[in-house]
């Protein structure tokens, strides 16, 4: 029991570090206010399209959690080995981390900032998100439900993660747009930048995480 705990503690530490980095990128992306990321376009579309009962206090966040749970249920059927403690931590902690960075960065980047600065922060946010995401993936503690979709398809089909990530993001964005979600410049940049950038970072993150786990 102690040995298993000793193996999981450093993995969770890595996951939390990657999650924090990734959501710093997400916050920059959101604060740039140039369009939602592909997965949230889908969530937005579902939230707007479905006629939710008035008695239910449904919000964008609750729809996000619901879709994430559906993804987890499907993954439990396909291959439960992908669903780990980190998958649940990503669901629970993502929002609070974004809220924290929003408070810290609200005065630095926002909808009223110069357009050029917003584009720079958008691209920087995508790169930071991609790096943090690869740390989470290589932590071996689990990955967020929406990210796992591309990870599982890439592993099962033996296709490059970067290409699969682009395809998955485009599908999320297209489905969300057809349902009524808002697609903007940020959505397009995110869809075509995060995947290839993550593909570049994956071997780097694998070495960093491997070294950290050995030292621990």
CB distance 132 to 121 below 8 Å? no
Mean pLDDT rounded to a whole number for the chain: 86
Confidence tier at 197 by pLDDT (50, 70, 90):
very high
Instruction: Tell me what the mean pLDDT of segment 30-51 comes to.
Output: 85
Q: What is the pLDDT of residue 41?
A: 87
Structure tokens at 132: 């943090």
- Kindly state the percentage of the chain with pLDDT values over 90: 35
Q: What is the pLDDT of residues 108-151, one digit of tens each?
A: 999 899 999 999 999 999 999 999 999 998 988 888 888 889 98
| Cα of 169 vs its chain's centroid, Å | 11
Q: What is the pLDDT of residues 66-91, one digit of tens each?
A: 888 899 899 888 888 888 888 888 87
Residue 166 scores a pLDDT above 70: yes
Confidence tier at 21 by pLDDT (50, 70, 90):
very high
Residue 2 scores a pLDDT above 60: no
The CB-side HSE value for 214 (13 A sphere, CA atoms) comes to 6
Closest CA relative to residue 27, chosen from 18, 17, 37: 37
Residue with the bigger pLDDT between 1 and 109: it is 109
Closest CA relative to residue 97, chosen from 34, 25, 24: 24
Q: Is 158 left (phi over 0), alpha (psi -120 to 50) or beta?
A: left
Residue 55 scores a pLDDT above 80: no
Q: What is the chain's alpha carbon radius of gyration, rounded to the nearest angstrom?
A: 17
Give the count of domains, the chain. 1
Q: What is the pLDDT of residue 52?
A: 73
No. of helices (H) and no. of strands (E), the chain: 8, 0
- Which of the residue ranges 41-55, 88-102, 130-144 has the most confident prediction, judged by mean pLDDT? 130-144
In the chain the first and final C-alpha atoms are separated, in Å, by: 17
Q: What is the pLDDT of residue 200?
A: 93
Give the separation between CA 24 and CA 41, rounded to whole angstroms: 19
Residue with the bigger pLDDT between 57 and 46: it is 46
Q: Residue 156 belongs to what domain range?
A: 2-215
Q: What is the pLDDT of residue 127?
A: 94
Structure tokens at 137: 């993936």
Could you tell me what percentage of the chain is helix, strand and coil, using 3-state DSSP and rounding each to the nearest 5? 80, 0, 20
Structure tokens at 27: 């916050």
Residue 1 scores a pLDDT above 60: no
């Amino acid at each position: 029991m102690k040995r298993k705990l000793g193996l999981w503690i450093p993995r969770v530490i890595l996951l939390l570090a990657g999650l924090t980095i990734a959501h710093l990128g997400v916050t920059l992306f959101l604060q740039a206010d140039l369009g939602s990321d592909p997965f949230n376009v889908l969530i937005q579309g579902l939230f707007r399209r479905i006629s939710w009962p008035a008695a239910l206090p449904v919000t964008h966040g609750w729809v996000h959690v619901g879709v994430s749970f559906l993804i987890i249920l499907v993954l439990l059927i396909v291959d439960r080995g992908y669903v780990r403690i980190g998958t649940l931590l990503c669901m629970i902690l993502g929002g609070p981390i974004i809220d924290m960075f929003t408070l810290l960065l609200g005065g630095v980047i926002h909808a009223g900032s110069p357009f050029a600065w917003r584009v720079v922060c958008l691209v920087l946010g995508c790169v930071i998100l991609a790096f943090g995401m690869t740390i989470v993936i290589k932590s071996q503690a689990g990955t967020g439900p929406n990210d796992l979709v591309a990870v599982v398809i890439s592993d099962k089909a033996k296709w490059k993660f970067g290409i699969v990530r682009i395809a998955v993001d485009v599908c999320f964005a297209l489905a969300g747009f057809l349902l009524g979600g808002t697609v903007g410049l940020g959505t397009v940049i995110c869809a075509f930048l995060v995947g290839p950038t993550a593909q570049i970072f994956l071997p780097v993150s694998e070495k960093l995480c491997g070294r950290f786990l050995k030292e621990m």
